[in-house]
Structure 1
Amino acid sequence: MYYLGLDIGSSSIKAALVEISSGKCLAVVQEPEQEMGMYAPKNGWAEQNPDDWWKYCCRAIKRLKHQNNISPFQISGIGISYQMHGLVIVDKTGQPLRKSIIWCDSRAVSIGNEAFEEIGKGKCVSQLLNSPANFTASKLKWVKDNEPETYEKIYKFMLPGDYIAYKLSNTINTTISGLSEGIIWDFKAKHIAQFLLEYYGINEALIPEIVPTFGLQSVVDKKGESESGITAGTPIYYRAGDQPNNALSLNVLNPGEVAATGGTSGVFYAVTDTLSVKESERVNNFAHVNYDVDSRTRIGKLLCINGAGIQYRWLLNNLAVSSYEEMNNLASEIPVGSDGVCLIPFGNGAERMLHNQDIGTRIVNLNLNIHHKGHLCRAALEGIAFSFVYGMEILRSDGLQPRVIRAGNDNLFQSGIFAHTVATLIDQEIEIYSTTGAIGAARAAGLNKGDFDGFGRTIMENDHVTTYIPFKDKGPYLQAYEKWKNELTLILNKI
């Protein structure tokens, strides 16, 4: 028997089957095999059709069953991970009224900033743990202000994962964790953030019913069966946004545990047990998957670095190199500090951890007589690593005391130079695991039984790949980091 995990990304849908008895992954598939497109009618806008997600979910499920000779009766439960902060609005028949305004759409920035000022920073920080910013509530306000005829037809609004669960079950609901990522949860009142809804003029009736993150949320109905191929009556047991789910996938559930991601952008997602927020304008704070209103405060602190792996990919595309492996080999021939070359990697838009400043990518101290592409490769890996270290300094100033850092075995963390640089400067081992969001969502379906200890053992026993140990000789790394940090400070002071 198996659990099915669905990971609803903005570039693709991934689906995984996990054996219930052992927790081992049987298979993972991706649909479409090339990236999904985005609709961007204006600069800064990003939309997707929710029914495209559903179409690719159904295709992925069909492929999983066919390629692994699995009967739908062998699937005993479903877990769902999804791209955070998106907005899906439907009418009374459950039909989307417009394309989804997804996570990277920035049209509502000014709405959220104005709310932050007018409601009051103190109230927002103490009760929402964030600025309303460009999150789901602010996007809904944008629809209200700019598409009033559409807004009047709304029956419910949902997050992307809520919509996929609805398509499977014909049941509309959401979670506290989901509402918190939309900045619609009041942590002080332990209730829906009514003061924000009143400020935006949004009717609370538009919010779906709240169900637990773990447990029976709904079951597949006949229509869901006919379209997805999953047997009617199959329970949906779990749902969470991609970053909380990534942390869960790495068994990051308790205070001091940190999940790291080094893809196109970089992320530290750290769990704490306090509502204290000192860096609310640089760090986002959400209810983690195991947050409990009555008995367990678990807050996920999310620090995002937009300019991360995208920098290394840019070098791959523009240097005379054929692969990341070749780049890593070239970089390994260069000493720590890249013989003085510093690369500031923030070339992927505004950086929240730099107070939303867009400083771009900078290459400094380049000597055309002695430096070559190997120096650029090393400087890029170090510059991205230094940005992670800089981010950890912010998290520490926000009260985090990291004791475990875990990351997936992909992207930047496959580079020993990158991972060792981060581990050495943070002075913390980094454990690497072979898992994905879809696998984590599938395993999380089993947490409806509450066995978190067994869940953690499954990850440790099946997925551990390696552990990066901090180097004892930190001198060269500290010297290179201080030089990089000084260059960043000079740039920030000029803006």
Structure 2
Amino acid sequence: MKKYVLGIDIGTGSVKVTGVDYYGKIVAQESASYPLLHPQVGFSEQNPDDWVNATTKAIHNLLTLDKISAAEIAGISYSGQMHGLVLLNKNNEVLRPAILWDDTRTTKQCQLIEQQMAQHFIQITHNRPLEGFTLPKILWVQENEPEIWQQVKIFLLPKDYVRYQMTGQLATDYSDATGSVMLDINTQQWSSTICDQFHIPLSICPSLLHSSEIAGTISSEYAQISGLQSGTPVYAGAADNAASAVGAGLLQPQSVLSSIGTSGVVLKYEPDAQTNYQGVLQFEDHALNDAYYSMGVTLAAGDSLNWFQRTFCRHQSFAALLKEAEQSPVGANGLVFTPYLVGERAPYADAFIRGSFIGLDSSHKRADFIRSILEGIIFSFEDLMQIYQHNQHNFDTVISIGGGAQSPLWLQIQADIFNKKVASLMNEQTASLGATIIAAVGAGWYANFQDCTDVFVKTKKFYYPIADNVTKYQKLYPIYHQVYQHTRDLSFNLIQFRQQNH
């Protein structure tokens, strides 16, 4: 049997290529970065060929520097940044830079979708139209770049364009398709209702594949430039959140993922397509066949701590800040922070709310500010956890990844605020690991995802709620929860003042 599978994770700032063996051990890993383009305020774009060139460089280094034999690679799969719009013409050439997930130019188009389809849109997609999704980007191109729109033959998501350049085959997978908000979640087909409503030809929607389904093989052309062996099987892959869920072993309803990066994600496995959070939480196809996941996003999770560090203590490491937070007690001596630095997505879809410290007095020390930020981020996650509790979608374990899993203090804060067992993992790189799991299942190494994750995903440590801390947080959380309502109008008025007096 061949020895390795590769997982390719197409991130926003870089690509990471990971090689693992049959037991999930990382035997090699290479990465390469690419630039972000911001031609105007609120615009976020990338050149799709930069993803391909960086991927090729990382693969070449993996084969030559890490001594992975191309002949011993059993299969390749992907994790990819979600929602990005890649438009191709009849010759499968890129028509314009890709519009990315964090691009905010499409507020007008989101309002148009709401006006024309309202609740019907939520019934079809189980999502609300948000600026980050793909459909509003298509409508923006329709309106603002008609000469481009007239040439569109097909649209792809970021990882799908990279896979096309490696195999010559055009397709997407179901998890990325749902992230476009153009897929009917009930029929698992592209929605003719949505496409007809907005004058989008169904023909520009790519064919649909399950994540572990074969999507092609490495072409002879790509083999020559990358060093891979032509004919190597390539599997469809998944949207990065779906791949992360796989890489964290989130395959059952009793677990929830807590991910703290620049933004924060709370994600739950959902077994039933009929589940509908009315767009308050996103609802997407999972990488597993006939399974789904819901997720809510805190826009400035880890970025809140980044802001504090670069503004007030630039020369201190994050490890030092987290250590300093230990000097402050549960509740940060009555200081509460709300992490709405760039607006919020869930449970408040509010672009105008802004962050705040509440309860500040002259006795507070820097340690209290740091701890209140850590607690405020997790309180924002608890807002999302409460939605599950209110819908009787119960769970007993939280799997923590990202920055929040690097600190024992922050892990304990999660256990105490959630009042749940919290697990940290041996391998934090869940998106790339998820891509390798997809490849391993596709290649037939394992019969299903559960069998594979039982081997590949390993828990480092469990953190359990401390009863006294839980009691204190249960008194403090309702206070935190009131801050949004009481500061919403204030935030809006302050933004208006700032714009008028800039």
Return the TM-score normalized by structure 1: 0.93
Cα distance in structure 1, aligned partners of 2:392 and 2:128: 19
Cα distance in structure 1, aligned partners of 2:428 and 2:409: 22
| Native 8 Å contact 1:14 1:28 kept in 2 | yes
Q: Name the counterpart of 2:201.
A: 203
Q: Give the secondary-structure state (helix, strand or coil) at the position aligned to 1:80.
A: strand
Q: Name the counterpart of 1:24.
A: 25
2:449 to 442, 449, 452: 452
The answer to whether 1:407 aligns with 2:400 is yes
Q: Deviation at 1:276?
A: 4.2
Structure 1 unpaired stretches of 5+:
293-297
Cα distance in structure 1, aligned partners of 2:202 and 2:305: 45
| Native 8 Å contact 1:178 1:241 kept in 2 | yes
Cα distance in structure 2, aligned partners of 1:492 and 1:401: 30
2:325 to 328, 331, 336: 331
Q: Deviation at 1:51?
A: 0.4
Is the alpha carbon distance of 1:477 and 1:131 closer, same or farther for their aligned partners in structure 2, counting shifts above 3 Å?
closer
Cα distance in structure 2, aligned partners of 1:407 and 1:90: 38
Q: Deviation at 1:233?
A: 0.4
Is the alpha carbon distance of 1:492 and 1:418 closer, same or farther for their aligned partners in structure 2, counting shifts above 3 Å?
farther
| Native 8 Å contact 2:378 2:417 kept in 1 | no
Q: Give per-residue Cα distances to partners, 1:80-108, cap 9 Å, x unaligned.
A: 00000011011222210110011111222
Cα distance in structure 2, aligned partners of 1:452 and 1:381: 33
Cα distance in structure 1, aligned partners of 2:467 and 2:489: 33
Is the alpha carbon distance of 1:83 and 1:398 closer, same or farther for their aligned partners in structure 2, counting shifts above 3 Å?
farther
Q: Deviation at 1:118?
A: 1.4
| Native 8 Å contact 1:250 1:459 kept in 2 | no
Q: Which amino acid aligns with 2:400?
A: A
The answer to whether 1:391 aligns with 2:364 is no
Cα distance in structure 2, aligned partners of 1:301 and 1:220: 33
Q: Give per-residue Cα distances to partners, 1:2-61, cap 9 Å, x unaligned.
A: 111110011111110011x222111222212xxx33222222111100000111101111
Q: Name the counterpart of 1:241.
A: 239
Q: Give per-residue Cα distances to partners, 1:225-269, cap 9 Å, x unaligned.
A: 122221110111241011111001011122233222111111011
- Compare 185-194 and 302-311 and name the one that shifted more: 185-194
2:419 to 395, 404, 427: 427
1:170 to 163, 168, 171: 168
Q: Give the secondary-structure state (helix, strand or coil) at the position aligned to 1:120.
A: helix
1:246-285 equivalence runs, <5 A: 246-277=244-275, 279-285=277-283
2:297 to 298, 304, 310: 304
Q: Deviation at 1:398?
A: 4.5
Structure 2 unpaired stretches of 5+:
493-502
| Native 8 Å contact 1:2 1:76 kept in 2 | yes
Q: Give the secondary-structure state (helix, strand or coil) at the position aligned to 2:393.
A: coil
Q: Give the secondary-structure state (helix, strand or coil) at the position aligned to 1:435.
A: coil
Is the alpha carbon distance of 1:210 and 1:23 closer, same or farther for their aligned partners in structure 2, counting shifts above 3 Å?
same
Q: Give the secondary-structure state (helix, strand or coil) at the position aligned to 1:154.
A: coil
Cα distance in structure 1, aligned partners of 2:478 and 2:450: 41
Q: Deviation at 1:399?
A: 4.8
Cα distance in structure 1, aligned partners of 2:464 and 2:345: 29
Cα distance in structure 2, aligned partners of 1:194 and 1:267: 30
Q: Name the counterpart of 1:295.
A: none
Q: Which amino acid aligns with 1:481?
A: Y
1:39-118 equivalence runs, <5 A: 39-118=37-116
Q: Name the counterpart of 1:355.
A: 349
Q: Name the counterpart of 1:124.
A: 121
Q: Give the secondary-structure state (helix, strand or coil) at the position aligned to 1:4.
A: strand
The answer to whether 1:230 aligns with 2:217 is no
| Native 8 Å contact 2:282 2:294 kept in 1 | yes
The answer to whether 1:343 aligns with 2:354 is no
Cα distance in structure 2, aligned partners of 1:351 and 1:265: 10
How many residues get paired? 481
Q: Give the secondary-structure state (helix, strand or coil) at the position aligned to 1:103.
A: coil
Q: Name the counterpart of 2:211.
A: 213
Cα distance in structure 2, aligned partners of 1:443 and 1:289: 10
Q: Deviation at 1:113?
A: 2.7
Cα distance in structure 1, aligned partners of 2:321 and 2:154: 49
| Native 8 Å contact 1:281 1:352 kept in 2 | no
Report the RMSD for the aligned CA atoms in angstroms. 1.8
Q: Deviation at 1:211?
A: 2.1
Q: Deviation at 1:376?
A: 1.0
Q: Deviation at 1:202?
A: 0.8
| Native 8 Å contact 1:177 1:291 kept in 2 | no
Cα distance in structure 2, aligned partners of 1:127 and 1:398: 20
Q: Deviation at 1:174?
A: 1.3
Q: Deviation at 1:318?
A: 2.4
Q: Deviation at 1:74?
A: 1.8
Q: Deviation at 1:380?
A: 1.1
Cα distance in structure 2, aligned partners of 1:289 and 1:431: 22
1:382 to 339, 360, 375: 375
Q: Give the secondary-structure state (helix, strand or coil) at the position aligned to 1:476.
A: helix
Cα distance in structure 2, aligned partners of 1:174 and 1:30: 23
Q: Give the secondary-structure state (helix, strand or coil) at the position aligned to 2:40.
A: coil
Is the alpha carbon distance of 1:458 and 1:316 closer, same or farther for their aligned partners in structure 2, counting shifts above 3 Å?
same
Q: Give the secondary-structure state (helix, strand or coil) at the position aligned to 2:8.
A: strand
Q: Name the counterpart of 1:4.
A: 6
Q: Deviation at 1:357?
A: 4.0
Q: Give per-residue Cα distances to partners, 1:137-173, cap 9 Å, x unaligned.
A: 2211221222111112122110011101101001111
Q: Give the secondary-structure state (helix, strand or coil) at the position aligned to 2:399.
A: strand
The answer to whether 1:417 aligns with 2:405 is no
| Native 8 Å contact 2:247 2:453 kept in 1 | no
Q: Which amino acid aligns with 1:484?
A: Y
